[in-house]
Amino acid sequence: MLEALWWGGFTVLGVWAQYFFPGVDFYAPGLILCLQEGRTKLALWLALIWIFILEGPGSLAFGYGILWYAGLCLLYAAGRWVFHAKNLLFMCLLGLCMGLWHYLLILGLAELESVDAPTVRLLWDGAWQAVAFPLEWVLLNRLYPERLRNVSAL
């Protein structure tokens, strides 16, 4: 029950934060935290919910959220071979990669739909994502309840 309340509150705060900082994904650090804690099944369920939230208000065709989180998971899995999973340097590097991935993904999807993408805005959104990701991860890692860390992986 505590876990449902925690992640439900996190999701609501993420929606609220994205209202004030459009273009920045506030759910990605939560997904990474679940993967770091070995909660793969929970990460999949949360990613599914967050994909629908991200896809809903978007103007691009369905698929951005799936590609966004798939890229995040692939980068995380590849980076774990080189870095410790909870290393701040790794999270900063992951944030930089996600900022670039955001730019390339939006630009590519816009090109597929023959839509003009605001390149300068996308660059700024990618930069904000790169800076926000490690900061969000540090904050989330500190606020995540110890009782939930000790729950056996699903």
Cβ density class 54-79: b for 16+ within 10 Å, e for less: bbeeeebeeebbeebbebbbebbeeb
pLDDT digits (tens, 9 = 90+) for 109-143: 888 878 888 889 889 999 999 999 999 999 999 99
Residues sharing a CB contact under 8 Å with residue 118, sequence separation 6 or more, in sequence order: none
What is the value of pTM for the model shown?
Answer: 0.86
pLDDT digits (tens, 9 = 90+) for 17-53: 988 988 888 999 999 999 999 899 999 999 999 988 8
Question: So what's the pLDDT on residue 124?
Answer: 93
Q: Looking at the predicted structure, is the pLDDT value of residue 8 above 70?
A: yes
